[in-house]
Structure 1
Amino acid sequence: MLENIREIFIKNIKLLGYTDKTITYLRLQNFYQALIYSTKSIETILEVIENILNNEIYFNDGINIVDAVNINQMLGDLLEAQENRDYILLADLYEMQLNPFVLSLQEMIISKETFTLDQSLYKKNIELILKKDFQLGEKLKKLDSPLTLLEEGYSVEYTSCGLMTLALFDNGKKYYLHSNGQILHEAGMLAREWFSNNISRYTVYGLGLGHHIIELMELDDSINITVYESDINVILLACAFVDLRQMISSDRVNLIYDPSFEKLSTCIKDLDAENRYIIHYPSLRNIKNINIREQLEDYFISYSSVNNQLHKLNNNFKKNIKIYDGYIESLKEMFKGKDLYIIAAGPSLDKNYKELKNLGKDVIILATGTVLKKLLSVGITPHYVIIIDANDGVYTQIKDINTKNIPLLYLSTVYYKIPEDYLGEKYLICQEGYKKAEEFASEHNYHLYQTGGSVSTTALDLGIQFECKRIIFLGLDLAYTNNQDHASGTASFNTVESNDLRQVEDIYGNMVGTSKNLDIYRKWIERRIKEVKNIEFIDATEGGAKIKGMKIKKLSECL
C-alpha cells in the first residue's frame, strides 16, 4: 500500500471515531461533548482532505466517490450548521453525508489493497505487555505467528470503517465478537451502557479485540478497568491487529490472562459497591469449559434481567409502597410450624393438582399467580397468592376473577396495577438486591427476603424464613416436561420447540431440556435449602428436573 493511501486509511479510522461520538452526543443533547468531538472531526478532515483530492483517480475507479465541489459543499454545510447551532441538522449531516463518504473511501481501499500483519504494531503491543506483565508477555512471545491462527478456527476481518473484527468457530458455525460495520459505534454503545458515575472500578470478562475496553476507558479518566481473558490466542490476535498501546500502557487498565478462571473467581468474591462486574457476552461462547460458561451465562442473564428493567422496577416501587395493608412478616405466625404447599405452574401440575382438595386443615396453600385461575376453576381456593413480575402482562393473572377472599403477597416491584386493583388484603415484600427496597425496609425496620429471580423461589424463601414444618412443591418442573413450558389452563401455556436448551437430569434419572433461566432457579434452590435445618423439603411435582436436597414424593404420599 502506498504511504499516502495508508495515511488516509488510518486518519479515516480516527475520523469515524470522532464523528460517531459527535452524532451520539448531539442526539443526547450533550452539546458540550458533541462540540469537542465535532471540532476534532473537522480538524481531522482538514488534515486529510488534500491527500484525498490528490488521489482522486485512485478512489474514482469505476465509481465517482471523490468530487471536489461536493466535498467543499459538504464541509461548508457542516461548518454553517455548527455556527448556526442547528444541532439536529449537524448530526444529520455527519450521519448521512460525511460518514457515508468516509466509509466509501475505506471500502475502496480495502477492496484494492492487500493487507498484511503490521509487524511494527504487533511488536510494540507485545513489548508494552512485557513491561506490565512479564509472564504474559513471555507466553505471547513463545506462540507461533498470529497468522497461523487464521487457519485454526479464528478469523480476522476488516470492517467497513477500517478496523478489525474477530470471528470464531463453534461446531463449524461462525460467530463474531464485534460488529462488521461501525465497530466503534457498537463498542461505544456497550461502554456507555456499562458506565455509571457511581462506579470507579470495572471488572470485565472478555477482551475480544479490545474495542469496548478502549471506549470504556475513554469515558472517564478516573476509572480503573481489569480485563480477564481465558484464551491466549485472542490476546495474541488483539496485539497483532489492533493498536492497543493506549490501553496497555495505561495504569488504569490491567489485562489478566486467566485460563483456569481462578483469578476471576477470587476477584468477584471481593467486589464492593464501587466495582461493577461486566461480561462481554460474545466472549462467553469461546469458553470451552461448559460448567464455567454456564456459570458466567447465569450471572449475565440475572444481571441483565434486573438492569434492563430498572426504570420499570423503580416506577412500580414508587406506587406499590403506598397501597399495602400490611408487611409480609406480620403473617409469620400464620405459617410457622405448618405444611406449606407452593403451587407453581410447571407442566406436571396437570397430573395431581386436583388432589389438593384432599388436604387437611392445618396447612397453607400458596399459589403462584400463574395458577390462580386454574385452581379456582376446579373449586380450590388457595390461602394466599404470590405475584412478583414487574411487567404489565402479569395482569391477566387476576383479571376477571374475584380475589376478595384471597390475600395477595406482592413484591415491592411487581406491576403496580396488581396491588392497585386487587380486591383482597395486600401484603408487601421487600427484596434483597434492590436498593430502594432495602432502604425502605431499613427505614421501617422490615425484614428483607430473597427472590432467587422467580415467583417460586421467592415463595420458598418466605416459607424458610417463616419456619414452616414442611415445604411441598407442586408444578415445580423447572424443565420442559413433554415439551411444555407451563401447565394447561394457566396464564402462560406454550409448546417449546428449541435446540438451544440445557440438558439436566429429571426425577426419573433421564435427561430433560430446560432453559437457562429455569436452570438458574434450580441451582438457586439447591443453594438456598442446603444449609437449612428443621424443615423438610419435598418435590411433589411428579416430573421435571431433579433438585438436590429435596425429597421426591407423590402428592398422595404427602397428604
Structure 2
Amino acid sequence: MDLFSKNLQAIKHKDRDLFNRLKKVTKAPYVSFIPSRSGKIVAEVLGKDGKRYLLHSAYDPCLEAEEVAARVKWIGVSHVLVLGVGCGYQLPAILARVSPKVKVYAVEPDISLFRSVLEVFDWSDLIRRQNLYFIVGLSPSLAVETIMGTLNPVEVKALEIFKHPVYYRLLQGYFSELEKELSESIRISLVNLVTALQFSFRDHKNTLLNLKYLEVSSPVRNLFGAFSGKPAVVVCAGPSLDKNIHYLYEVKDRVLVIAVDTALRPLIERKIYPHIVVAGDPQDANFDHFRIVPPWELKDIFLVAELRVSPLIFKYWSGKIFLCDFGSQIMRWITSSYGDIGRLMVWGSVSTVAISLAVELGCDPVILMGQDLSFTGLRRYASYTWVDETSSNQVDPAMETLLREKDLWGKDAWTAKNMLAYRDWLEQFFKRVKRRFVNSTEGGILVAGVKTINFLEAIARFLSQPFDALGVLRRLWSPLKKGDRFKKEIIEKLLSLKKVLEDIKSICEGNLALLERLCGKINEEIKDGEERIRSLMRGYSFLEEGFLPYFISFNREIEKLRELPEENALMKECEAYAFLFAGVKETALSYINVVESSVEMMRGE
C-alpha cells in the first residue's frame, strides 16, 4: 500500500468528510519536496509572486520544530491551534509536550498541498491521535465552525496559537480572519454558557410548572411553511419604533405582524393588534410587558412561547397559545413523550426568536422595525413600553458602561456589549438563511446582511396584496389533546426524576457526614460519591446544567491542588468536596419541591 492510501485509510476512520474530499483532489503542481541538510524532506511552494518558499528549515526541520515548541510555557494550556501544517514537523513536537486531554487543531488551508504531503510522509500514526484534529481546505468560517463542534468553551483555560511564519506571509488574511472568528465564537459560546448556568434552575422550574399547558396549546410546527412567500414585519421595541409604528395600522391586512413581547403595549396603544406575540425570557419581570395590557385586548392575538417563560404569562394570557422548542435539554426530555412541537432558534434576545419564527413560517421578505440594538436618542425602548413608564428608559453615558458604534448613517451611536453580540449573531444568521431581510428600523446599528430602506418604501415595494393572516392562524391552531394516557406518562417521568433527585440528595448527605468523621481526609468512598452523582445525572442531561456551576467550581479547585504543599492540598481538597456536596444537595432539594408541585398540577390537585 502506498503512503497516500495508508494515510487515507487512517483518515477514513476518523474524519469521513475529509476522506471524501481528499479523494476528489489532485496533488498540488506548485509543491515540490527537497532534502534538507539533515536529510529530512521539506516542502517548497511556488508563491503567487513567482518566488519559491521553503515551508520548513533548510537545515534541520525537526530541530527547528523542537526549538519552537520548547519556547512555549505549556503549564495550563488546554487547547493548541496550529495555523499552517506543511510537512507537519511541529505536530509531534507539540504532542510530546501536552497531555492527551489537550486538544490540538491543525489548520491547513490548502487541501491540494495537504494531499501532496500525504503522498510523501507516513502520518498514519499521527492521524490516529485522538486529541489531534485536522482542519483542511475550509474557509475561515467553516474552519471555525468545525473547531467549535469539538470545543467545549468551559474547558478553554489557555489557547496556544502556533503561527507558521511562511504561511502567515503567504496567507495572512486567511489566518487573521480565522483567529478573529474563533475568538468571537468562543466568546459567544461562553456568554451562552454563563447565561445557561446562571438561569438553568429557573428555566427548569418554569418549564416543569408549565407542563399543564401542553394539552391546551398547539405546536408551533403546525404553522411552519404556512405563510410561504408572504411578507412579515417583526416589530421590536427599540427607540426608533416611534418613527414609523403608526404606518402599520394602514397595512395590517397586508402583512403578518409578529411582535416581540416588549413591543406589545406600544402596538396596542395605537390600536394595532399584532397577529403573533413572541415571548422567550424566563424572568418573572418579563411579565411586566404583559400585565400593562388588559386581558380582553389579547383574546385575538396568538402567543408563541416556550414552556420556560414565567408561569405568570401563561396564566394571564387570554388568547390562544402556540408552544415552541428552543432545543434545551429539558425540552428534549419532554418532547420524547409529547413529540416534536417545532424548534425555533434563540440567541440572547427575544427578537432572534421572532425572526426565526418568521423564517420557519416561510415569510419573505422579513421586515424589521424597532431593531436599533443601540440607545438611539439615549433611550432604551420606544414609547409606551413598561420601561417607558419609569425613569430607567433614559441612559446616561457618563453613568453607564456604554460603547460607541457607527449607526446606519455612519454617525456615532451608544450601544452595549450584549447588543453588539446580538447584532453579530443576527448578521451571521442573515448570511446563512436564504431569505430577503429588510431593515426598516430607520435607526440603530444593524447594517450587514439586510437591505436598509424606510418603512414607507417597504410598504410600496412589498405590501400590496391583502391576505387573511388571522384566518390562517385560527385554522392551524390545533391542540394535541393526548388524554389521560399522556398525562399518566408525564407524571411517571416526573416521579422517576424525583427518585433520582432524592438519591442524589441522599449521596450528598452521606458524604457530608463522612467528611466530618474523616477529619480532613479523603477516601475512595468520597470520590465514589462524586462519580455516583455524575452517573445519576447522565440519565437526565438537563440536570447536569442545573448542577454544573458546582462541578465547574469543584474542578477548578481540584486543578489548583497541584500547586500547593501536600498538607495544604489535603485541606483544600476536603473543602472542595464539602462545597460540591452541600451545593448539589440544596439544588437537588429545590428541584424536588418543583417536581412535586408539577405533579400536583398535572393531577389537578
Per the normalisation by structure 1, the TM-score is 0.51
C-alpha separation between the residues in 2 aligned to 1:508 and 1:516?
A: 21
Judged with a 3 Å threshold, the aligned counterparts in structure 2 of structure 1 residues 138 and 483 are, in CA distance, closer, same or farther, namely farther
Shift of 1:390: 0.8
Shift of 1:501: 4.3
Judged with a 3 Å threshold, the aligned counterparts in structure 2 of structure 1 residues 350 and 271 are, in CA distance, closer, same or farther, namely closer
Shift of 1:259: 13
Q: Is the 8 A contact 1:391 1:415 kept in 2?
A: yes
Percent sequence identity over matched residues? 23
Shift of 1:290: 6.9
Q: Describe the SS at the equivalent of 2:209.
A: helix
Partner of 1:478: 373
Partner of 1:196: none
Name which of 421, 433, 457 aligns with 1:520: 421
Name which of 427, 441, 444 aligns with 2:322: 427
Q: Is the 8 A contact 2:323 2:341 kept in 1?
A: no
The alignment covers a number of residue pairs equal to 330
Are residue 437 (structure 1) and residue 331 (structure 2) matched? yes
Partner of 1:277: 153
C-alpha separation between the residues in 1 aligned to 2:368 and 2:101?
A: 48
C-alpha separation between the residues in 2 aligned to 1:439 and 1:505?
A: 44
C-alpha separation between the residues in 1 aligned to 2:102 and 2:415?
A: 37
Name which of 300, 303, 308 aligns with 2:190: 300
C-alpha separation between the residues in 1 aligned to 2:312 and 2:63?
A: 59
Shift of 1:344: 0.3
Q: Is the 8 A contact 2:144 2:181 kept in 1?
A: no
Shift of 1:299: 2.4
Name which of 291, 305, 308 aligns with 1:413: 308
Judged with a 3 Å threshold, the aligned counterparts in structure 2 of structure 1 residues 295 and 484 are, in CA distance, closer, same or farther, namely farther
C-alpha separation between the residues in 2 aligned to 1:501 and 1:290?
A: 22
Name which of 284, 304, 322 aligns with 1:392: 284
Q: Which amino acid aligns with 2:255?
A: V
Shift of 1:489: 2.6
Q: Which deviations, in whole Å up to 9, do the C-alpha atoms of 1:342-366 show, x marking residues without a partner? A: 1101111111112211215132211
Name which of 444, 468, 493 aligns with 1:544: 444
Q: Which deviations, in whole Å up to 9, do the C-alpha atoms of 1:120-162 show, x marking residues without a partner? A: xxxxxxxxxxxxx98786337569xx9xxxxxxxxxxxxxxxx
Cα root mean square deviation, aligned: 3.9
Q: Is the 8 A contact 1:326 1:426 kept in 2?
A: yes
Q: Which amino acid aligns with 1:364?
A: L
C-alpha separation between the residues in 1 aligned to 2:134 and 2:281?
A: 36
Unaligned ranges ≥5, structure 2: 1-61, 83-95, 109-132, 161-175, 388-392, 460-605
Name which of 343, 348, 352 aligns with 2:240: 348
Partner of 2:395: 495
Partner of 1:53: none
Name which of 217, 230, 238 aligns with 1:338: 230
Q: Is the 8 A contact 2:237 2:371 kept in 1?
A: yes
Partner of 1:506: 407
Q: Which amino acid aligns with 1:437?
A: M
Q: 1:20-419 alignment to 2 at 5 Å?
A: 138-139=67-68, 210=76, 226-228=78-80, 251-254=99-102, 269-270=146-147, 276-278=152-154, 293-324=183-214, 325-332=217-224, 335-401=227-293, 402=295, 403-419=298-314
Judged with a 3 Å threshold, the aligned counterparts in structure 2 of structure 1 residues 295 and 267 are, in CA distance, closer, same or farther, namely closer
Partner of 1:453: 348
Q: Is the 8 A contact 2:269 2:384 kept in 1?
A: no
Q: Is the 8 A contact 1:336 1:469 kept in 2?
A: yes
Judged with a 3 Å threshold, the aligned counterparts in structure 2 of structure 1 residues 309 and 283 are, in CA distance, closer, same or farther, namely farther
Q: Describe the SS at the equivalent of 1:323.
A: helix
C-alpha separation between the residues in 1 aligned to 2:144 and 2:67?
A: 24
Shift of 1:249: 8.0
Q: Is the 8 A contact 1:480 1:496 kept in 2?
A: no
Unaligned ranges ≥5, structure 1: 1-132, 147-206, 214-225, 231-247
Q: Describe the SS at the equivalent of 2:212.
A: coil
Name which of 353, 357, 361 aligns with 1:462: 357
Q: Is the 8 A contact 2:80 2:105 kept in 1?
A: yes
Judged with a 3 Å threshold, the aligned counterparts in structure 2 of structure 1 residues 279 and 375 are, in CA distance, closer, same or farther, namely farther
Q: Which has the higher contact order (CA 8 A, sep 6+)?
A: 2
Q: Which amino acid aligns with 2:247?
A: E
